[in-house]
Structure 1
Amino acid sequence: MSRCSSRFIRALSRTFSTKQQIVVHPDVRHALEQRQPVVALESTIITHGMPVPENVETALLVEQEVRKNGAIPATIGIIDGRITVGLTHEELVELARKPREQVIKCSRRDLPYVLTMGQSGGTTVAATMIVAHRVGIPIFATGGIGGVHREGHITLDVSADLVELGRTPVAVICSGVKSILDIPRTLEYLETQGVCVATYASEGGVFPDFYTRDSGCKVPYNLPTAEQAAQLLRAWQQLNLQSGVLIGVPIPAEYAAEKLAIDAAIKEANAEAMAQGISGKEVTPFLLAHIARLTKGRSLQANIALIRNNASVAAQIACNLAKDRSSTPVRKSSTKKPLVVGASILDLSFKITEKRQLHLDGATYSGVAKQAAGGVGRNIAEGIYKLYGDVNLISAVGTDQLGQILRQLMPKTLQKGLIADENHATSLCSVVFDQLGDCQLILGDMEVHNSITPELLTERSELFRDAPIIVMDSNISEQAMTRTLELAQRYQVPVFFEPTDMFIAGKPFKLRPELTQHIRITKPNIHELKTIVETITGQSVSWKPTTKVERGELLMQAKQLLKQIESHFNCIIATLGDHGVVLSFRSDAENDAGKLLALSPSCEHITYFYPAPKLNNIVNVSGAGDSFCAAFITALLRSHNIDECMAAGFVSAERALLSESAVPSTYFENNQEFENSLQHVFQTLKRQNI
């Protein structure tokens, strides 16, 4: 089967729950394990609620709103008989494109049949609540819930959503009950079911009715802020009532419909449904579509606005609810840990304090000395550990005193993967910075890295098998690189290559092409990029790239180099010093960054330049690039888009530049702060197509 097969990629990129009918996206699973905020989202908006292309566009915008407010989105749907928690972009599109008659609108009653027959379905409020509760997601955002239909006291047409709210402990954040329904009777039914119903930021507890902010009904409680809503949910969880909570969020005022006009449209749509004999679960989508036509699309725009607003509110409540659980991620063992193979080094840095120019003439210069844990592989591993939460490291140190010092400077979890070499000294790197903080000279003892042998890597093959990505730096030997890439090939795991230095950046590209094709992402500086180009093409680059030129000329140099090798990679992140970063990536990954990890032939590339954010009071430049790598990988594994991955890289590199050590002791207090900082940079990030 082709690696490009969507089902094969889906099978490789997911973790199955103990209930084999449910597939949980790795990012959602990780967030739940780390007690981070997650918001469940339904999929009938994709399959039955909106027309193409608004359905997919809205679903993606809703997920973006959740991320923007610090939580992880988990869109729930059913694809080919498998319940999926955390649909990818590819799966959203797949579900939307299926013919309507092949996609079932799934409530509780439909789930067994759809799974048994291997069919696909969009989950309603009821079905989404069931699945969310089963995997441990307490908060769910949607547009509006079902209810008692008009004339429901005669027809007994009552939505299963109401019964589910009475027996499934999930908090539903919505814009109330759809306007097409009998709202007073719906609220009475919810009271009978024992459901706690409240409004959010609504004066006087006026309950919304989807398209308008005032249904004419009031509920007993109003929650003015996300923090107060979270407090109510904490008490609800502690009581273990086994029933849901419904929080009605009014549609933003600028999108609210005029009540008389919407009531007239609903009345006409209901009459048309009766005339055509529409019944059962087909009533709601028919009425919504008919009302959209009668209002000339205004109701559709209102629908999009309210669901985005509800997702934003739900994420804020989820973040406040998560605060009480833990401000520090809970690091649990996982079978899906990124793997880093590379150097661990004890860095001894000297920053010259004199203003005279440095010359290698034996003279003595005044300076400040500092000692820190370093090594590109080790730095990236520590960064991933602090940002993502889980990582494995394979590296080598001596059994000498320097090795003991280095171990003490490393997180304990990273020490587990260290190879202790009795025959070689721990790698020591002396770095000399000028008074501006620019690196002028590096002296290093790298012999111990040869202790990372092919045999030792083979012994640890399970770490390669279970990794979503392998990070390899160029300090290890060619033999170790060969075995690393062979294991990547065996287990079909993508590789991120960090070139480390211009003189060894081309090392892996001397190996067999069937191995190097597994290097899907690389992050060279402009000098390392030149070396890689010369190694891959076998031709010398006659000119010397430099960052000491005008930006326009530098971008031209970078683009010329990238064009020669872009087909060999899914993504090349070329750093241009304080100018910024050039990103060259396969065009089909712009809206689905996960394709950067795809082990398939690359396609046409897009190239963007991102100016580096201005930063004053820089303390240390030694670990900024490694922190960029760690954050980019973290955001990529959490399904952020390309620009968000770049924003994550920039914000984490900034934290490293302001830190005394190569890797900050703490990047962010918790995942919410990381997501908020990422989104802040994302909003201000400027890119230029080159």
Structure 2
Amino acid sequence: MLKSAKPLGLRSFANRLSISDEVRSAVSLGKPVVALESTIITHGLPFPQNVQMAKKVESIIRENNAIPATIAFMNGIPKIGLSLHEIEELAGSAGNPSINKVSRRDIAYTMANNLLGGTTISSTMILAHMAGIKIFATGGLGGVHRGAEITMDISADLEELGKTPVAVVCAGPKAILDIEKTMEFLETKGCMVATLGPAGVKVPGFYCRESKVVSPYNFESFEDAARIIESSNQLGLHSGSLFCIPPPPEVALKDTLIEAVIDKASNEADKLGIKGKQLTPFLLAEIARETNGLSVSSNIDFVMNNAKAGSQIACELSKLQSSIKNPTYFQPSEVYDRNPIDEHPCPKKLNVAVVGAIALDTHCTSLKKVRMADSNPGKIDSAIGGVGYNVALAAQLSNRHQNISTSLISSLGNDLSGSAIREKMKLNQKSIYRDDKNPTAQYLSVHSTGGELVVACSDMDIIARMPPSYVSDRIESLAPKVVIADANVSIEVLNLLMVLQEKLEYKLIFEPTSDTKARKLSELSNLRPYPNHKFYAITPTVSELKSIFEAFERAEKFDVNNWFPVLDSLQIDTAFKRLRSTENSAAMQKFTNKGILQMACSLLPYFPNMLIKDGANGLFLVTLKDCTSDMKRKASLANFSFLAEGLQVEGGNRGVLFEHYEVPEKSSVKNVTGAGDTLLGVLSNEICSKGDLFDAEPLLRYECTRRAQLGAKLTVEDCGAVSEDLAKLP
């Protein structure tokens, strides 16, 4: 139960980030993203050279199949992924004393005073980590200044590399530093340093291809670098890593030239008493003046070269992470046996994708008879809910198939409710979209003393505003076998899922969620009758079935040209007349009661499989069959069933199978809110594993349906929306 949000520390600060939609989507999908600092824009280069450089670097990253994420503070707001307008605004303000150079210590002040700020390596690492970005490309690294044993002038970059898990790709420590002491400091802080090249390669000194210091480690390909980063991530070391890229020979400066210039500039700084955060800009400016601007042009070339290298490392890391299904860390038998004999090969991985709502659910249960328009004493609990979340959680808890996994594709706001849900949710968050513009969905329900729903109110707008492009990316990445969409998503997303169904051939299931939202089906533009249907099944309650039927009537979906030929081929009226004249007339009342049979048959041409929930009265399964001859030889195990034979179409007799499954046993009702969600979640695993249950052998259909009903029973008898005891289902 989720009672309140705890202080979240770093996580709560992360909620104040402004992350561009492109970067957020790329990170969520595991695509390669490269972070970029902004002090080179605000403090490194003059306008317009700075904006030209910034645009060029982002362009290089895109050319190398990665997404750039320039980071800066815009009026106190930490932004990850600047727009072109924001880059131009930042660049145009370069040299203005009001622009802050932001390291770790300066973040709070910059935010509190709504300042523009260029991020250093330190603050860029912090913000990149909060946004989930693993790779950061820059020019040169700060470090231990010469004479630091007296001045204690050590860059905050080094401290950050010891505690923030971001890989920094650079051209080595700046040549103005004491590179040997810088390497010693990084070793003390636990930062892995590797240089591109063969074993024994020397660390580059920013401006020169190499310094006098041998690199602690080397790597010979970008794939090698990606493996190092992923190993660190898997072990949760929580420290950064430094990958040094020697500058190309054609742009590197001679070390003898640079050393003489640095010595002269350092002596001048000592005379003028320049130290602290002013020292590095002074030294770089002096070097630029002494080299007639050659050092500045080299600096730009180095940044671009590192951006290219960072992009390629990010791409290799993305490929590596997507290929890792079952990491072998801490499994010695797999690590040391290079050619193990696999006596039990792992079956193909199958995915169930649930596209729908995750929300903060507040359940109120009255201790006495509910009095409307008055305050009622009762008990109030909060928990994570939402139809999509409940279905996905039920699927995960009840899953008995090792090769099946469930993913929830949903959206959370950048607010207190969203933070609390992220901290407590029991599902993988990789497919959760972060929305900075809309509040997290919430659902409030009031129940009687017996657990029956009295009234409810919901705010699910954020789910309806989930970007279709994000949903499309996630679905194509997961390549699921089953997709469940709840009616909280937009009509645009539902249309998209129908288009993708034709491409990916998954089983698409629609969960109506409410009478009002169920009507969305009538507004879909791609809806076609059998056999060109896109939905594998729908799972309405009796009330939702009526709502869908009425909406289809108003939308004139029951047309003569497309719908009627399919309905006519089923010859349902003739079958009903025969049934009424038999001893089964009493059982027939279960279908005709409330008009279930008539409404279901009218909708059957659009939705050839229907699972209709009728609470304590059980389930109705209505299925359109292409060939009824096999069905006549296989007796249904439902409590009541009836097979209606229709006309012969393409060599087989079409027909309809009606089945009624009573509830397995009486329940002690505590909360009915998540019963239907649980039923669908449990059933989704069986459909994913065993295929078309509506067309399965009667025994298999009975066993799977009964298991789903038993799961729903556990939830009905539980105070939560989904029972934890689902894990115990046989």
Return the TM-score normalized by structure 1: 0.49
